[in-house]
Amino acid sequence: MKQNLSIWQFGGFTLAVLGGTLLHFLYDWTNGSSLVSPFSSINESTWEHMKLLYFPMLLFALLQSSFFKEYKNFWCVKLIGVLSGLLLIPVIFYTYNGVFGKSPDWINITIFFIAAAVAFILEWTLFKKNTISCKRPWLAFAIILFIGILFVVFTFFTPELPLFEEPSTRTC
């Protein structure tokens, strides 16, 4: 499997950006279905854009885990990848907006692609070096799942924080 690592990571990146793009529009395409709202973007908040990266990365990680049994650090590496991608979205978005003001849609799309690319390149690097010691892979997996639970819960019970604000209405 080690020789196919680059192919796997490129496939994961591709799934993440295509899946995230699909999830961006799915809520509108289904006329606001409550079945797809936990997994798709229900507004243009930064939080909702983070969700678009998380769920395709989770799906890919679950698929990939079946084939990466020799990597004992698999879930720890995946946790680092997920966290890095999710953190980059608000960091780049708010930095850009702080410097230049409101960002055009193409910048927001670019931010999403950059976050996904960095996450999968970082994972590739960590898998390749194989220096991460993962003493509790079940805990890393549990944290990844907990993040997903937060995405679902906060879809229906949205905190009154700027991260969750719809930019056009400034409401959560």
pLDDT in tens, 146-160: 999 999 999 999 999
**80 occurs within a structural domain:** yes
Domain limits at 38? Answer: 2-164
Residue 107 identity (one-letter amino acid): I
Higher pLDDT, 170 or 155: 155
**171 occurs within a structural domain:** no
- Pick the closest to residue 4 from 82, 79, 70 (CA basis): 70
Residue 49 identity (one-letter amino acid): H
Number of domains the chain contains: 1
Q: What is the pTM of this model?
A: 0.92
**72 occurs within a structural domain:** yes
Tokens of 121: 């390149």
Residue pLDDT, tens place only, 83-121? 999 999 999 999 998 898 878 889 989 999 999 999 999
